[in-house]
Structure 1
């Protein structure tokens, strides 16, 4: 049964038409997308492909795949972006919101005032990166994810 009023589910319903930034990587359980509303190019979200609202509601198969995706994304960030650390965050405080994990590459030159949880200072800022830049990065990260599977 389709879920109404869920941005993530609405995007999933049109998966084949999504731009590269909305489908950086995927399998039957998870999809990787560039976050919206972030000033930081490369800030991704990892979302289950079915409507889930709480971590406790993941199936064992989804949970196992979640761990693999998190590690793979951290490896791709290190290889492709040279980031020394990857932040993986799930807060889920918005009522009725689709479960999602923020997967954030911490740049080497990140302002110390924005490290750790303060990285969320990059959300809600104007997005300087145009869609073509996000799509180009998405294509690059997607290819790197594919190479990890070889």
Structure 2
């Protein structure tokens, strides 16, 4: 099921055409993308591949994979960015973004105190000139994908994979 007014569903419908930053990794239930409109590099979003508007609507199989994805992504972010920890947040309340999604946010040791915890959301919805450039998000996607596969960036470049998980 998809929703015509849903950003996540519209993006999922074009899966094969998406740039690296929009399909960092995926399986039958979940897709990982770099957040749009963020000033924080490597801010990830974990989305169900079908339209779901509340966590209780997840199937048992989707729920079983959810925790594994959150931990794997947190570990990959730590390895790729050197972040001190990650935040995992879910609201799905913004207009057009009611599709359940989990923010997996790298919190660097140098993040100012006012941007820690819920304050990190000040880095989302930023003006275009402050957003992570698409090229940088694509490079991060490549590094994260390689890490999730247990490979180095060089190995990933030499042999691009078919399965994004």
Instruction: Classify the TM-score, shorter chain.
Output: over 0.9
Larger displacement relative to structure 2 (139-148 or 98-107): 139-148
Task: Give the whole-Å Cα distance in 2 for the aligned partners of 1:3 and 1:124.
Answer: 22
Partner secondary structure for residue 149 of structure 2: helix
TM-score, structure 2 normalization: 0.85
Task: Give the whole-Å Cα distance in 1 for the aligned partners of 2:63 and 2:95.
Answer: 22
Alpha-carbon displacement from aligned partner over 1:74-114 (angstroms, at most 9, x marks no partner): 11111111111100000122367111011100011100111
Partner of 2:93: 93
Task: Give the whole-Å Cα distance in 2 for the aligned partners of 1:92 and 1:13.
Answer: 19
Unmatched runs of 5 consecutive residues or more in structure 2: 152-165
**After TM superposition, where is structure 1 displaced by more than 4 Å over at least 4 residues in a row?**
none
The root-mean-square deviation of aligned C-alpha atoms, in Å, is 1.9
TM-score, structure 1 normalization: 0.93
* Pair 1:141 & 2:144 matched: yes
Task: Give the whole-Å Cα distance in 1 for the aligned partners of 2:74 and 2:2.
Answer: 32
- Give the length in aligned residue pairs: 150
